[in-house]
Structure 1
Amino acid sequence: MNLTETIEKVFKKYLPSPFTIAIVLTIIAYLLSVLFTKPENVSLYPYSLEVLSFWEKGIWTNGLLVFAYQMMLILVLGHVLVLSNPVSKLIVRVTKYCTNTAVSAAIVASFTMLVAFFNWGLGLIFGALLARKTAEHAQARNIALNYPIIGAAGYVGLMVWHGGISGSAPIKINEVGHIKSIMTSVSSKDILKQIPSLIDYSETVFSFWNLLIFLLVLLSVTVTFYFLGSKSKGTTINLPVYSLCPKEEENGTMRTLDSSKCLAYGFGIAILIVFFYQYGAAILVLKITPNLINFFMLGLGIILHGSFKKFTNAINESISDVSGILIQFPLYFGIMGIMKSTGMVVLISDFFVSISNATTLPIFTFFSAGLVNIFVPSGGGQWVVQGPIVVESALKLGVPLPKAIMAMAYGDQVTNMLQPFWALPLLGITKLKAREILPYTLIAMVVGSIVYLIGLLVF
């Protein structure tokens, strides 16, 4: 049994579902908090109940519930855009240049990463559909293709997304007061004084060093997939045609309004007019927020689909993507409530401070984020749980917050190549199996990790 088969077997046999993992982590956080944070003058029983109340209050934190809804919209609206006719035509047009495995893998990988840098939900589905359509193109023209390599190339967008425009951590710290809101009741007054009201994209996503690191990852992973494709043997493919744009069903008395192009275009254009009026100034100063991205994609999605019926059909097809976020995020909020209110965040950050310095903390953060991502396969959920620890540790050691937070983002995203949770939509669309793409995504993970680690050391 080779390494990839062993990893797949371990994940299937021993790793519970993400929802079960969230519950297990909740229990662990609760037990550790009761054991290590109980004041000496308080008995165990009442303190145990108090920690449970911290957990319950954390679940219903209003600001975090808004965050969960924002992340769900980013994923759904990104999927909706991919299902529109113009994007579908773009995907088909790109596949015309896919003449062999090497070229196809390089094209799929590079386009997927570029799209995912803009929006992770868009990149996730775009990469899957581009891989599928590339295979169908090869099948129609009798081109021998190594389909698992192409499928893996369609997944690599998930190793660049958190350092991109829709990354959970950078997009939330760009909201006024967000960092202080998650650190209140966690940090001392001296630490709170050091926390800025926001950290905009000029210091994170659009900083020179992050864009350079992204470019290097884009180039190195693209070249890697070209090399893998050139050394592989292609086989014939037998796949049915995957319909990107289902035909609109026209029935019912409201058919005219549902299918009206004029009404859809008019409403979509109205949204974009409001968008530029409301967010134009924010865009100029790189104050990108989840609301900004979602409002833009809402208007653009309606315009690209051309009717409310087609748009809602795409919504219905995309809505299943968010089931994990809907039920898991509140559990992560509960964990955060425990860690904040009991002082666990300070204890853990003190541990990292004790074993780190200003140079090594981003490296430790990178590796710890990669490990946490295996058990918490959600960048948003991970930010909620790990973000306060990263902020507290960075401020105590004098590490710039943008660098520390992006180190967490890099570590979180790169182990998506090992964690199969977000690969499920791709596997469903491509009809591939996890064990078929895993050998190649693991290679991409190693290549990407090297680039990220060098970037954190140099910058």
Structure 2
Amino acid sequence: MSFSDKYSKVFKYLLPAPFTIAVILTIVTYCIALVFTLPNKASFSAYSYKLLQFWDDGVWNSGLMVFALQMMLMLVLGHVLALTKPVNKIISLAVNHCNSTAKAASLVTLLTVIVALFNWGLGLIFGAIFARKVAEHAKNKSIKINYPLIGAAGYSGLMVWHGGLSGSSLAKVAEPNHIKEMMSGIFSTEQINLLPNQVSYWETVGSSMNLTVMALLIVVLPISMYWLGKKVHSKNFNIKITDKDSNPQKIITGAEKLDHSSLFSILFGGIIFIYIIFKIRFEYDNNILAFFNPNNINLLLLALAILLHKNFTKFLEATDDAISGAAGILIQFPLYFGIMGIMKNSGLVGEISDFFVQISSATTYPLYTFLSAGLVNIFVPSGGGQWAVQGPIIIQAATEMGLSLPKSIMALAYGDQLTNMLQPFWALPLLGITGLKAKEILPYTLFLMIIGGFIYLSCLIIF
């Protein structure tokens, strides 16, 4: 049995479905809070009920529910944008240069990483479609390639996304008052007043550390995959050539013409896009990075998706294809919010933060945050869910130690995205599109993880 087969078997044996993990984490958090935060004068039964109330308040927290919807839209609209004809034309043009495993792996990695730094949903589906198109091209041209390696290259965007424009934690802290609202009930009023109103994209995405990280990823990852492509052997693979153009044309009558009208959809999408330009000009004083927060990102994705699909029918058909990918966010996020409710209101956040403060120094704290985030991501495979659970701990510990909050947030972002190469949850859409199996791409995603881990750790130490 190969290493990847053994790993895949162990992973499936030890880890149930992500929703089940979320339930287990809820129970574990509840029990830990019950044991370690029980007030001296409180009865066990009364505090048990109180913790359930904390959980209930967290699950249905209106602000966090908005966060869940924002993240769902970010994934769905990014997916919808990936299904537009212009994006497919870009992929088709790039595929013509993929006449060997090494070239294909390098080019798929390069473009997927760049796209994922703009939007993670777009990057995930773009990479999956690109990988499949490469396989179809290879079949048509009788070119021998290592398809699992190309599939892994198409998944590379999930290792860089959280440091880009759609990073969940980065987008949320850029929202005015998010940090203060998150720490409400943990910090005193005086402490909350000392917190920044927001952490802008200039301090996270646009920081010198992150720009260096992105430059290294864009250069080093494609080169590494090119080198690996030269070393691996081509394998036989079966793939069905898709031909969506063969579908019969539908006769459009009456009010349906409005649904299929290019003029109407382009006019609507164009108005939104023009409004965005004016919004950047007048509300953000031409500061483009300041514009990016969850609502504005989704507004931009909506405008682009409607414009590039050219009619509402195609836009809605693409939305139907994309919506299933957001099911995990819809059903899991409330459980993570419940965990956050227990941790905040019971004082467990403070207990964990104190532990990190005691064992950390200014140098080691970002590294501990990075490593812990990578570990947590295996069990909480969502950047948004992870920020809801781990964010308050990071904010409190960084504040108490007087360390850079933006760097601490970036350390979480790097750790969260790195172990996506280990955790196959977000690979499910890619596997469905490519027809590959998790165990087939795993050896190559682990290779990407090693290269990425070296880049992230090096930059966290240097900066």
TM-score (norm 1): 0.97
Q: Residues 139 and 236 of structure 1 are in contact (CA less than 8 Å); yes or no, is this contact kept in structure 2? A: no
Counterpart residue identity of residue 268, structure 2: F
Q: Which residue of 1 aligns with 2:151?
A: 151
How far has the Cα of 1:110 moved from its partner?
0.8
How far has the Cα of 1:244 moved from its partner?
6.9
Q: Which residue of 2 aligns with 1:197?
A: 197
Moved more, 407-416 or 179-188: 179-188
Counterpart residue identity of residue 420, structure 1: P
Structure 1 residues 50, 363: CA separation in 2 closer, same or farther (over 3 Å shift)? same
SS of alignment partner, residue 203 of structure 1: coil
Q: Which residue of 2 aligns with 1:369?
A: 373
Q: Following the alignment from structure 2 to structure 1, what is the Cα–Cα distance between the partners of residues 56 and 279?
A: 36
Moved more, 12-21 or 341-350: 12-21
Q: 1:434-453 alignment to 2 at 5 Å?
A: 434-453=438-457
- The equivalent position to 2:310 in structure 1, one of 288, 299, 306, is 306
Structure 1 residues 362, 229: CA separation in 2 closer, same or farther (over 3 Å shift)? same
Q: Residues 58 and 337 of structure 1 are in contact (CA less than 8 Å); yes or no, is this contact kept in structure 2? A: yes
Counterpart residue identity of residue 441, structure 2: I
The superposition leaves residues 400-435 of structure 1 with CA deviations (integer Å, 9 ceiling, x where unpaired) of 000000000000000000000000000001101111
Q: Which residue of 1 aligns with 2:174?
A: 174
Q: Which residue of 2 aligns with 1:51?
A: 51
How far has the Cα of 1:296 moved from its partner?
1.0
Q: Following the alignment from structure 2 to structure 1, what is the Cα–Cα distance between the partners of residues 445 and 216?
A: 17
Q: Following the alignment from structure 2 to structure 1, what is the Cα–Cα distance between the partners of residues 251 and 415?
A: 47
The superposition leaves residues 252-298 of structure 1 with CA deviations (integer Å, 9 ceiling, x where unpaired) of 64221111111111111111122223343436152211111111111
Q: Which residue of 2 aligns with 1:402?
A: 406
Q: Which residue of 2 aligns with 1:424?
A: 428
Structure 1 residues 394, 242: CA separation in 2 closer, same or farther (over 3 Å shift)? farther
Structure 1 residues 246, 35: CA separation in 2 closer, same or farther (over 3 Å shift)? farther
Q: Residues 280 and 288 of structure 2 are in contact (CA less than 8 Å); yes or no, is this contact kept in structure 1? A: no
Q: Following the alignment from structure 1 to structure 2, what is the Cα–Cα distance between the partners of residues 78 and 6?
A: 34
Q: Residues 175 and 198 of structure 1 are in contact (CA less than 8 Å); yes or no, is this contact kept in structure 2? A: yes
Q: Following the alignment from structure 2 to structure 1, what is the Cα–Cα distance between the partners of residues 82 and 336?
A: 29
Q: Which residue of 1 aligns with 2:101?
A: 101
Structure 1 residues 230, 24: CA separation in 2 closer, same or farther (over 3 Å shift)? same
Q: Residues 112 and 127 of structure 1 are in contact (CA less than 8 Å); yes or no, is this contact kept in structure 2? A: yes
Q: Which residue of 1 aligns with 2:120?
A: 120
Q: Following the alignment from structure 1 to structure 2, what is the Cα–Cα distance between the partners of residues 117 and 90?
A: 17
Structure 1 residues 174, 318: CA separation in 2 closer, same or farther (over 3 Å shift)? same
TM-score (norm 2): 0.96
Structure 1 residues 138, 54: CA separation in 2 closer, same or farther (over 3 Å shift)? same
Q: Following the alignment from structure 1 to structure 2, what is the Cα–Cα distance between the partners of residues 72 and 53?
A: 26
Q: Following the alignment from structure 1 to structure 2, what is the Cα–Cα distance between the partners of residues 132 and 24?
A: 36
How far has the Cα of 1:232 moved from its partner?
1.5
Counterpart residue identity of residue 341, structure 1: N
Q: 1:268-279 alignment to 2 at 5 Å?
A: 268-279=269-280
Structure 1 residue 257 corresponds to structure 2 residue 251: no
Q: Residues 194 and 395 of structure 1 are in contact (CA less than 8 Å); yes or no, is this contact kept in structure 2? A: no
Q: Which residue of 2 aligns with 1:136?
A: 136
Counterpart residue identity of residue 348, structure 2: M
Q: Residues 22 and 332 of structure 2 are in contact (CA less than 8 Å); yes or no, is this contact kept in structure 1? A: yes
Structure 1 residue 284 corresponds to structure 2 residue 287: yes
How far has the Cα of 1:242 moved from its partner?
3.2
The superposition leaves residues 206-255 of structure 1 with CA deviations (integer Å, 9 ceiling, x where unpaired) of 11220111111222221111111001122344322235789674456422
Q: Which residue of 2 aligns with 1:267?
A: 268
Q: Which residue of 2 aligns with 1:392?
A: 396
Where structure 1 has 5 or more consecutive residues not aligned to the other structure, the ranges are: none
- The equivalent position to 1:335 in structure 2, one of 329, 334, 339, is 339
Q: 1:53-68 alignment to 2 at 5 Å?
A: 53-68=53-68
SS of alignment partner, residue 286 of structure 1: helix
Counterpart residue identity of residue 308, structure 1: F
The superposition leaves residues 18-70 of structure 1 with CA deviations (integer Å, 9 ceiling, x where unpaired) of 10111111111111111111110111001110110010011111111001001
Q: Residues 165 and 171 of structure 2 are in contact (CA less than 8 Å); yes or no, is this contact kept in structure 1? A: yes
Counterpart residue identity of residue 168, structure 2: S
Q: Following the alignment from structure 2 to structure 1, what is the Cα–Cα distance between the partners of residues 242 and 191?
A: 54
Moved more, 229-238 or 296-305: 229-238
RMSD (Å) for aligned C-alpha atoms: 1.5
Q: Residues 88 and 244 of structure 1 are in contact (CA less than 8 Å); yes or no, is this contact kept in structure 2? A: no
Alignment size in residue pairs: 459
SS of alignment partner, residue 197 of structure 1: coil
Structure 1 residues 408, 230: CA separation in 2 closer, same or farther (over 3 Å shift)? same
How far has the Cα of 1:357 moved from its partner?
0.7
The superposition leaves residues 164-199 of structure 1 with CA deviations (integer Å, 9 ceiling, x where unpaired) of 000001110000000011111112445424310001
